[in-house]
């Protein structure tokens, strides 16, 4: 399917105080690391090619995604285009070592490279991870580097120890890489807004990737604890998980999750209220989800996991969909949207 938007420019915003200007929609690299299903090389190339032709200019990946497979595939594509036409973000906190296929714990990944993940937020571990990423990507630049997954979602009660290690090691490594102009921006990529705030209070970060916590279904905590310090310190915010792992695209059904877990009853109730209002105005829920998240001017970009070329087209159409102002008023009146949230 040809994307009719490929000749028009996508909206862009500056990332905090950096000289990086990001497209409103970014490419999230988890699916091309075989998240939940195995993708063939041609499918990966097609979705990346359509993203690029659609003027998406931020590509986010991680060694964690398919044990290096996402970086490998992304690099194979990006080496075919002008390196000044995109920005690349990857993450640190895990380095890879070769391992026999049968001994690898792949978690939720349906495949990937035959490497073992080694968790390491130390200075040396992060430098090792960063160098490995360069080799897997096989391209000459990484623009943004993020400390990955130092949050309660990943580590539970052990998060405090990992935070201390990351600030003593990973943070200092990224500061050095930024000072040497190897990378343009440093930050964290986490699943909780209070961890963004905690890092922001402790270090000099350019940006944060926040997953699942500034969405139509869940945004209060970000407004309370993170967004005020982000605005004060001019920290760029990139959102991930604006569909909360699928519910805001696929609805409530079998095998549909909320932030990769079972859907809580209160979320089902909230979703059904959203559905009723969207049906009233004949507006797709994904359009409302995307435009809600981007309406806040603190948000520089939204990285979306896309594993089919047509998903790129659908996301752009939803982002550009005309939404009547009365729909937003109804969502606020039903207490779906916090009244502090901008909606236009």
Based on the residue annotation, tell me whether 116 is a catalytic residue of this protein.
no
Report the SS3 class of residue 20.
coil
The torsion angles phi and psi of 201, rounded to 5 degrees, stand at -75, -20
Tokens linked to 255: 């095998």
Give the largest CA-CA distance in the chain: 57
Report the SS3 class of residue 148.
strand
Positive or negative, the CA dihedral 283, 288, 291, 297 is positive
Out of 60, 143, 206, 225, the active site residue is 60
> Partners of 13 in the beta sheet?
22
Among residues 341, 337, 331, the alpha carbon closest in space to that of 279 is found at 331
Positive or negative, the CA dihedral 59, 64, 65, 68 is positive
Out of 91, 120, 171, 206, the active site residue is 91
**Strand ranges for 4-137 from DSSP E:** 12-14, 21-23, 25-28, 58-60, 87-92, 94-98, 115-119
Interacting residues of 324 by C-beta distance below 8 A, sequence separation 6+: 281, 283
Q: Are strands 21-23 and 12-14 parallel, antiparallel or unpaired?
A: antiparallel
Q: Are strands 207-211 and 236-240 parallel, antiparallel or unpaired?
A: parallel
Based on the residue annotation, tell me whether 307 is a catalytic residue of this protein.
no
Based on the residue annotation, tell me whether 40 is a catalytic residue of this protein.
no
CA angle 258, 259, 263 (to 5 degrees): 25
CA 275 to chain centre: 25
Out of 65, 95, 214, 271, the active site residue is 65
Residues noted as catalytic: 60, 65, 91
């Amino acid at each position: 399917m040809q994307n009719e938007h490929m000749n028009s420019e996508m909206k862009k915003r500056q990332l905090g105080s950096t000289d990086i200007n990001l497209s409103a929609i970014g490419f999230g690299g988890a699916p091309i690391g075989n998240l939940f299903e195995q993708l063939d090389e041609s499918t990966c190339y097609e979705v990346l090619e359509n993203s690029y032709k659609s003027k998406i200019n931020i590509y986010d990946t991680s060694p964690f995604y398919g044990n290096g497979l996402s970086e490998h595939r992304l690099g194979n594509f990006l080496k075919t285009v002008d390196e000044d036409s995109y920005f690349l973000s990857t993450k640190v906190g895990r380095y890879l070592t070769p391992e026999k296929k049968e001994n690898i714990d792949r978690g939720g990944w349906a495949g990937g490279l035959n490497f073992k993940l080694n968790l390491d937020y130390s200075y040396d571990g992060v430098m090792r991870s960063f160098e490995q990423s360069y080799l897997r990507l096989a391209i000459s630049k990484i623009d943004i580097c993020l400390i990955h997954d130092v949050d309660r979602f990943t580590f539970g009660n052990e998060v405090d120890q990992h935070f201390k290690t990351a600030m003593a090691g990973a943070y200092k490594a990224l500061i050095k890489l930024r000072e040497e102009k190897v990378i343009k921006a440093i930050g964290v990529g986490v699943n909780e807004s209070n961890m963004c705030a905690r890092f922001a209070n402790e270090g000099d970060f350019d940006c944060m990737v926040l997953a699942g916590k500034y969405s139509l279904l869940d945004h209060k905590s970000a407004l309370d604890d993170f967004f005020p310090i982000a605005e004060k310190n001019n920290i760029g915010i990139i959102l991930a998980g604006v569909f909360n792992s699928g519910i805001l695209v696929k609805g409530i059904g079998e095998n549909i999750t909320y932030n990769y877990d079972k859907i809580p009853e209160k979320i089902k109730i909230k979703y059904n209220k959203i559905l009723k209002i969207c049906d009233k105005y004949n507006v797709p829920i994904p359009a409302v989800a995307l435009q809600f998240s981007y309406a806040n001017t603190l948000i520089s970009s939204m990285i979306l996991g896309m594993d089919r070329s047509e998903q790129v087209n659908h996301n752009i159409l939803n982002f550009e969909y005309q939404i009547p102002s009365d729909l937003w008023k109804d969502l606020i009146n039903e207490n779906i949207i916090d009244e502090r949230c901008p909606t236009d």
